[in-house]
Amino acid sequence: MKNFIILLIFFVSNIYSQNNYDTLEVKIESNTNWWAGIIIEGHKMPLEDGYEANLFGTSYFNQLQPLLISSEGELVWSEEPFSFKITNENILFDKAYASLDYIKAGDNLREAYLYASSKYFPPSGKMPPDLFFSVPQYNTWIELTYDQNQKDILEYARSIIDKGMPPGIIMIDDNWQEDYGKWNFHQGRFPDPHSMMKELKELGFKVMLWVCPFVSPDSDVYRELEKQGAFMLDEKEKPAMVRWWNGVSAVLDLTKSEGDKWFKGQLDKLINEYGVNGFKLDAGDSRFYKGIKSSKKITPNQHTELFAKVGLEYPFNEYRATWKMGGQPLVQRLHDKSHDWTDLRKLIPQMLLEGIMGYPFSCPDMIGGGQFTSFLNDSPIDQELVVRSTQVHALMPMMQFSVAPWRILDEKHFKAVLEAVDLRGEFKNIILGLAKDASLTGEPIVRSMEYVFPHKGYSKIKDQFMLGNDILIAPLLSKGIGSRKVVLPKGKWKSDMEKIYRGGVNIDIEVPLNRLPYFIKLN
């Protein structure tokens, strides 16, 4: 049995209330690489000299985990936020709101991660419903943005089927509702939501609705909840007004039963009355909780954690911003990406980071980009980018469409998209098997080269990845090139073109528009 070297730094005072800080210095040994649980920064990892971060009161617009792990089996964990800075020689930790643990848990990245997973965020034994993994998801955001309406949602769903794509989960995004906090279908835009839901179900879709923890202050719901004391408060003990991307709103205090029970009651009502299957739970970012007060004194990060725990009661869920929810059956989506090649190249390293931070049930944003401003005012569409984005998604844990590919692509490019969707169908049982394994063991579904083949010089490879331990996937991530280099580890590999390769070499391959290169390791 391995001997674990554990350094625990304890202190007895109430950290949050008294602002005492814990500190730690970890020496960076030669040829050691480190990763931190800041998912949106995954493309910047392994960490380099000069990198610094403060985890308090932020989600970095995506998932966070208070964990750093190294290629030599080391890890640092804290139950609460901390700051750290990287130099060429060490990592300096301070401003910790709880004790910092440094542990030499093994000899490589995988051993460090599995130790952290088992000790700090053990897998729950549960996973999101199979449908998240077996077929694409469809989100109405890019097509409709703030004009969510019954007519166009049904047209979008019918077109999915008519164009030869499989039904799956359809997510109706922001502005289906009457107002923030008034979680009823807007009567003007949804004249008959029951019939809409009925048709969507008959077409084969499960339906999720966008929700958030905000309540518009000029609504009757706000006035009633204010009387109940359900809101976060400002310094004058009045409901705090929080500015977010859609204006200024009050925010529910989920540390109080009045806020928590009311919100879940609204979600349950939508399920019971309309047959909604679940929810896209957005806007729980820690930054919205800074400088305001709740009934129970907790950190802004813990408020994000409370909002994420709501999703545990609804198997069909999706989150963009969470804190310390590793090992749980929550769908975690990457932050919105722009419609460009730079953001496309961020998908693989950020998804790989999700896996080693305890978030295996993850989705690489929306195909072609989820940043809706990229598609406004007749913005130019890069058809090749949409195809290559689809191919990156195809063998990830999940794939999600939003912009309608049949609308923006010509026949050749749309055919390549359909082929990538079909390829996922061929691999869906493998992906499902890995997802079920992740729910029991914590092992990532998609894995970095360093994770599977430690100490081979693969730490900085960010343009190829492993599906499990035996399938290497190497999408094309640059425009107009048509070829790429693939790093093949030692062993015997069979490509998607049925060609056999001896590993331990770098190979150059041709990648036409309709090809997603992959290599299966042979025994």
In a domain, 395, yes or no: yes
d(CA 281, CA 424) in angstroms, rounded, equals: 26
**Predicted local distance difference test score (pLDDT) of residue 212:** 98
pLDDT reading at 97 higher than 80: yes
Mean pLDDT of 339-355: 98
pLDDT reading at 2 higher than 50: no
First to last CA, the chain: 28
Give Cα separations from 381 to 374, 378, 385, 407 (angstroms).
9, 8, 8, 11
Query: At 346, is the pLDDT very low, low, confident or very high (cuts 50, 70, 90)?
Result: very high
Mean pLDDT of 487-495: 98
In a domain, 399, yes or no: yes
Question: Residue 51 corresponds to which tokens in the numbers above?
Answer: 């990198």
Mean pLDDT of 377-384: 90
Does residue 99 share a domain with residue 167?
Answer: no
Tokens 């998240």 correspond to what residue? 132
pLDDT reading at 5 higher than 50: no
Does residue 383 share a domain with residue 335?
Answer: yes
d(CA 109, CA 383) in angstroms, rounded, equals: 37
**Predicted local distance difference test score (pLDDT) of residue 18:** 30
pLDDT reading at 51 higher than 60: yes
Question: Residue 30 corresponds to which tokens in the numbers above?
Answer: 């030669």
User: In this predicted model, what pLDDT tens digit does every residue of 8-40 receive, in sequence order?
Assistant: 333 322 223 333 347 999 999 999 999 999 999
pLDDT reading at 218 higher than 50: yes
235-250 burial, b if ≥16 CB within 10 A, otherwise e?
eeeebbebebeeeebb
pLDDT reading at 343 higher than 90: yes
Question: Residue 285 corresponds to which tokens in the numbers above?
Answer: 């970012």
pLDDT reading at 392 higher than 60: yes
Of the residues 441, 474, 501, the one at which a domain ends: 441
DSSP at 2: P
What is the average pLDDT score of the chain? Answer: 95
Total domains in the chain come to 3
User: In this predicted model, what pLDDT tens digit does every residue of 453-481 receive, in sequence order?
Assistant: 999 999 999 999 999 999 999 999 999 99
In a domain, 238, yes or no: no
Nearest by Cα to 396 from 471, 324, 497: 471
CATH number, domain with residue 479: 2.60.40.1180
Structural domain of 450: 446-522
User: In this predicted model, what pLDDT tens digit does every residue of 427-441 receive, in sequence order?
Assistant: 999 999 999 999 999
CA 247 to chain centre: 24
In a domain, 80, yes or no: yes
Beta bridge partners of 519: 472, 495
Does residue 360 share a domain with residue 406?
Answer: yes
Of the residues 87, 120, 153, the one at which a domain ends: 120
CATH number, domain with residue 359: 3.20.20.80
Residues contacting 258, CB < 8 A, separation 6+: 225, 228, 229, 230
DSSP SS3 for 512: coil
Q: For the chain, how big is the Rg over CA atoms in Å?
A: 23
In a domain, 226, yes or no: no
Does residue 482 share a domain with residue 386?
Answer: no
**Predicted local distance difference test score (pLDDT) of residue 314:** 98
Does residue 308 share a domain with residue 180?
Answer: yes
Does residue 170 share a domain with residue 54?
Answer: no
d(CA 55, CA 83) in angstroms, rounded, equals: 6
In a domain, 306, yes or no: yes
Of the residues 120, 153, 187, the one at which a domain ends: 120
In a domain, 222, yes or no: no
Does residue 285 share a domain with residue 318?
Answer: yes
- C-beta neighbour count of 266 within 10 angstroms: 16
d(CA 408, CA 257) in angstroms, rounded, equals: 47
Mean pLDDT of 71-75: 98
In a domain, 427, yes or no: yes
Burial class for 316, CB neighbours closer than 10 Å (0-12, 13-18, 19+): buried
Does residue 282 share a domain with residue 160?
Answer: yes
Run of H or E including 266? helix 257-274
User: In this predicted model, what pLDDT tens digit does every residue of 137-182 receive, in sequence order?
Assistant: 999 999 999 999 999 999 999 999 999 999 999 999 999 999 999 9
Amino acid at 446: V
d(CA 395, CA 336) in angstroms, rounded, equals: 19
Does residue 160 share a domain with residue 115?
Answer: no
Does residue 371 share a domain with residue 516?
Answer: no
pLDDT reading at 225 higher than 90: yes
Does residue 344 share a domain with residue 274?
Answer: yes
Amino acid at 46: P
Does residue 141 share a domain with residue 32?
Answer: no
Report long-range pairs for 406-413 (Cβ below 8 Å, ≥24 apart). 406/159, 406/163, 407/143, 408/368, 408/381, 408/383, 409/381, 409/383, 410/383, 412/513, 413/383, 413/384, 413/386, 413/387, 413/513
pTM for the predicted model, two decimal places: 0.95
Q: How many CA atoms lie within 13 A of 85 on its CB side?
A: 6
